[in-house]
Amino acid sequence: MDKPNDDERYMGVAIESAKVAEENGDVPIGAVIVRDGQIIGRAYNQREQLQDPTAHAEIIALTQAAAALENWHLNGCTMYVTLEPCPMCAGALVLSRMDRLVYGCDDPKAGACGSLYNIVTDGRLNHRLQVTTGVLEEECKQQLQDFFKKRRNEKAEAKTQQ
């Protein structure tokens, strides 16, 4: 399993992936999956680009990692994601048998790894993940705040031009 001292490095890669989402007009969330020091999945939100409500960074990265390993069991893997996963993504992490989740900032509106729910450590489920939070938290939070501030400003400008 990857070492916690690598957390900032891999979260930095997730932040870079999130920038691609923003460039494509999507919420800047990036995810990276690492096993034995190798990145085996790297993705960003593509909901707007693909017009697919399930095209979250985590889901796309899980698909890539499973393809790389030719196995849907992702034992020995760590996911790094800039924002706390939602219920769909948290459920997918449990189902994948991922060992560890590292995320940047909490999601008080939809977080399912401690904020609203705690799917990834729920003892009633057949698998649980080790969770580390707050890695490069300020950078992750600022990236999202800047995106939504820009989006609000664009909407306000469009309204005044009408």
Q: Which of 32, 29, 47 is nearest to 140 (CA)?
A: 29
Residues 77 and 68 sit within 8 Å (Cβ to Cβ): no
Q: Count CA within 13 A, CB hemisphere, residue 69.
A: 22
Catalytic residue among 58, 84, 154, 157: 58
Please state whether 147 falls in left (phi above 0), alpha (psi between -120 and 50) or beta.
alpha
Residue with tokens 């799917």: 119
58 catalytic? Reply is yes
Residues marked active site are found at 58
